[in-house]
Chain A
């Protein structure tokens, strides 16, 4: 039932008395109203702004939060009001909905925050009034497109276990993912260009022997051109077959536009091979060669602009259709008129109406070749009207097409910009998140340190005052550490700094970079040698850190690797780095007396960005590796 019609219910029920004398049967019992309340004002406190309304107003929509008993959860006994910790501005629209029955969407509001508020209050967005519904739908569609763009970017991410086929497909679709793909991309591009140029040059007349007429190059150097053609077609065929093999859905791939273009590009060659030098079909053979020019469309895989253009034309199909239709109409009309106007004049070129088509088209598009001109006065008058109207008819649909193109183009620009900004944004977000994780590690370090040195002085001064939440959180992380027992049962996992983790993870066997040091001992950090309890895997993040004596130099100089050092039987290096304490690497949180459990590289790590390194080397080598592991966020 619509809004205020509920207010008319008493009236409708009262008017039902009109049926009573007519009725033959006894009526059912009326529902009793238990604890009937007088209509009262209720106060809704939304983030400090107080709204007041009658209870009846809210009761109009019993399937929403405010209209049902769900609002009792928010009732505050002390202040006798309902408190909602939500946005008061959006709440205005929500409350107006109860009052007037119409839900409006304010234009200045962000679409997703509005949606969230509606979802919270249990209101279906479909009942937005007609005045605002279009705007709402437009914004929602825009937002969805934007999110879809972002999701598409995520598809670039490499999944951990991709089959060879999937890797290949990904390489084909996104050339910048690996070097091989890039090479392939450029090679095919090069060959497309070669093929097209060959086709063009083939027809240029080459210098000839003095007594012969000029022949095109194609006939002079037949063999050479044939070899070039063959080579290009070979490459294209191989490429097509590889794509076909790698495609996840072969049937769909075969139906896609790009694959059809590929097929059309290489088919003439094969057809030409098959056909012999038969007299009848050689004409058709020549026609087939025309199709070779379709190879130029293969460039659209390489150029995004071309794709946008194609997409625009497709999306403006209706406008283009209208343009075509109106032009055809006008052409026919004017051709007829011109034909009859010029019929009388002698030696008129307007021999028939179809012949006049040519004149009309040339005039309407303001080309004006001048091969056909009207000679009579009537013809000239109608000819001028024709050219004027041509300008108008063509000019009308063009802005629509232009605006469509502009919209799509800008959308793409935005998508690219967003992609570029995304990395920086994410890095900054991670940076702000390190605070809490660093706090935990820091406090842990301090705690252990303090234990170890057996300080009697309470270190409360040194420790940052941790709030209750923080201490509980740290306790939680501790518990998690204690819980995760590794298979060797000698130590449990601990949270470590991300870079620390990254390095160890890299060692743990990702074959991403061939320059991994072979001398690094492996996995979970059991180093072999002297003291199994004491020896620890030590990673100093910098080769030039204040060198603990036992460290061995870098075994490779890959610039990304922040100094993966060989494992050694290095003992404790508590706080031996020269870093400032804020950007601490966890080198050795262990105490001096070797009593603590061994610290290993943990599987669980907190994603802290390496931007905290003083070198500012924000480039994580194992970008893909990043996403392969289970990450426990510190927040």
Chain B
């Protein structure tokens, strides 16, 4: 028995020595252990560079003056040196304005509304077009833009579910610390109220004409459409 122990231990000892030896050889590169460390790093193109169209074109397409476009671009480029905004950055920026709540859902919808060509990033042109409508457009255009925002799947109809999503997103931005405390069914109730107002033919969806008609008849909404025009 003891001899067995001895032999066993001896074998282990020899094994250990061999392993150490192999490792030392590996260090000196004499034994290739299998994988070759390819030193090439794959430099992935990290940034997508985008240069906007010329100033004149943008001036023609939007309702901003040259100076205003310059100011807008400087701010835009400062924040996003690569020239495009992706959704993450969008959410970050929006979150900074609403620190108490969670603005990411609404930012997501907003991003989709701005991203006209649906390529996952908002370039300066998209940005400026959107702003042009929001700040310098006619009330009709603004309402169309709002409809576009609410219509998540862009099929021309606002369903209750879509509206509920939007409403929840807006209420999320408020956060938890509100007075009075937000209850679970508040967005739902709000959607009911909205649909009662907007849905004239009670078919469960709101079309764009219904929407525009209804809004144009509402004093408050009309007035509030002009609120933010002095932004720039």
User: Shortest distance in angstroms between B25's beta carbon and chain A's nearest beta carbon?
Assistant: 17
User: Shortest distance in angstroms between A335's beta carbon and chain B's nearest beta carbon?
Assistant: 15
In contact, B225 and A343 (Cβ under 8 angstroms): no
- Interface contact tally, CB-CB below 8 A: 128
A204 and B167 alpha carbons, distance in the complex (Å): 95
In contact, B3 and A27 (Cβ under 8 angstroms): no
Interface residues of A in 312-357 (CB under 8 A from B): 340-341, 343-344
Chain B count of residues within 8 A CB distance of the other chain: 55
Q: Which of B2, B71, B113 has the most CB of A within 10 A?
A: B71
Return the contact of B96 from the options A2, A29, A32 (Cβ within 8 A): A2
**Which stretch from A18-26, A116-124, A175-183, A621-629 is at the chain B interface?**
A18-26
**Which stretch from A8-16, A277-285, A527-535, A550-558 is at the chain B interface?**
A8-16
Let me know if A378 is at the binding interface, CB within 8 A: yes
User: Shortest distance in angstroms between B142's beta carbon and chain A's nearest beta carbon?
Assistant: 6
A26 and B17 alpha carbons, distance in the complex (Å): 84
Interface of B is mostly: helix
Let me know if B13 is at the binding interface, CB within 8 A: yes
Return the contact of B225 from the options A17, A54, A382 (Cβ within 8 A): A17
Let me know if A274 is at the binding interface, CB within 8 A: no
Known: A18-B110, A24-B193. A378 touches B6 (CB 8 A): yes
In contact, B5 and A340 (Cβ under 8 angstroms): yes
Let me know if A377 is at the binding interface, CB within 8 A: yes
In contact, B224 and A376 (Cβ under 8 angstroms): no
Let me know if A276 is at the binding interface, CB within 8 A: no
**Which stretch from B33-41, B45-53, B143-151 is at the chain A interface?**
B143-151
Q: What are the residues of chain A within 8 A of B221 when measuring CB–CB? A: 20-21, 23
Known: A13-B231, A27-B220. A21 touches B146 (CB 8 A): yes
A19 and B220 alpha carbons, distance in the complex (Å): 12
Q: What are the residues of chain A within 8 A of B150 when measuring CB–CB? A: 18, 21
Known: A14-B228, A18-B149. A340 touches B9 (CB 8 A): yes
Return the contact of B75 from the options A7, A30, A99, A340 (Cβ within 8 A): A7
In contact, B10 and A377 (Cβ under 8 angstroms): yes
Let me know if B177 is at the binding interface, CB within 8 A: no
Let me know if B205 is at the binding interface, CB within 8 A: no
User: Shortest distance in angstroms between B83's beta carbon and chain A's nearest beta carbon?
Assistant: 15
Let me know if A385 is at the binding interface, CB within 8 A: yes
A201 and B113 alpha carbons, distance in the complex (Å): 95
Known: A4-B79, A7-B78, A344-B3. A20 touches B230 (CB 8 A): no
Interface residues of B in 190-232 (CB under 8 A from A): 190, 193-194, 211, 215, 220-221, 223-225, 227-228, 230-232
Q: What are the residues of chain A within 8 A of B232 when measuring CB–CB? A: 10
In contact, A382 and B78 (Cβ under 8 angstroms): no
Let me know if A309 is at the binding interface, CB within 8 A: no
In contact, A343 and B2 (Cβ under 8 angstroms): yes
In contact, B131 and A4 (Cβ under 8 angstroms): no
Q: Which of B17, B94, B97 has the most CB of A within 10 A?
A: B97
Query: Quick one: closest B residue to A32, CB to CB?
Result: B230
Return the contact of B230 from the options A22, A30, A99 (Cβ within 8 A): A30
Interface size class of A (residues with CB under 8 A): 35 or more
Let me know if B55 is at the binding interface, CB within 8 A: no
Interface string of B74-107 (1 = CB under 8 A from A): 1110110000000000000110110000000000
Q: What are the residues of chain A within 8 A of B193 when measuring CB–CB? A: 24
Q: What are the residues of chain B within 8 A of A12 when measuring CB–CB? A: 93-94, 97
In contact, A19 and B228 (Cβ under 8 angstroms): no
A27 and B131 alpha carbons, distance in the complex (Å): 20
Let me know if A200 is at the binding interface, CB within 8 A: no
A347 and B10 alpha carbons, distance in the complex (Å): 19
A19 and B225 alpha carbons, distance in the complex (Å): 10
Known: A7-B75, A17-B134. A378 touches B167 (CB 8 A): no
Let me know if B157 is at the binding interface, CB within 8 A: no
Let me know if A260 is at the binding interface, CB within 8 A: no
Q: What are the residues of chain A within 8 A of B135 when measuring CB–CB? A: 10, 14
Return the contact of B2 from the options A9, A22, A23, A344 (Cβ within 8 A): A344
In contact, A22 and B194 (Cβ under 8 angstroms): yes
Let me know if A306 is at the binding interface, CB within 8 A: no
A344 and B9 alpha carbons, distance in the complex (Å): 11
Q: What are the residues of chain B within 8 A of A382 when measuring CB–CB? A: 13
Query: Quick one: closest B residue to A26, CB to CB?
Result: B220
In contact, A14 and B131 (Cβ under 8 angstroms): yes
Return the contact of B93 from the options A8, A20, A25, A54 (Cβ within 8 A): A8
Let me know if B166 is at the binding interface, CB within 8 A: yes
A10 and B79 alpha carbons, distance in the complex (Å): 14
A377 and B146 alpha carbons, distance in the complex (Å): 86
Interface residues of A in 357-381 (CB under 8 A from B): 376-378, 381
Residue numbers of A with Cβ under 8 A of B are: 1-2, 4-5, 7-27, 29-30, 32-33, 36, 38-39, 54, 56, 99, 340-341, 343-344, 376-378, 381-382, 385
Residue numbers of B with Cβ under 8 A of A are: 2-3, 5-6, 9-10, 12-14, 16-17, 67, 71-72, 74-76, 78-79, 93-94, 96-97, 109-110, 113, 127, 130-131, 134-135, 142-143, 145-146, 149-150, 166-167, 170, 190, 193-194, 211, 215, 220-221, 223-225, 227-228, 230-232
Q: List 11 A-B contacts (CB under 8 A).
A: A7-B75, A17-B145, A22-B170, A23-B221, A26-B224, A27-B220, A38-B67, A344-B2, A376-B6, A378-B10, A381-B14
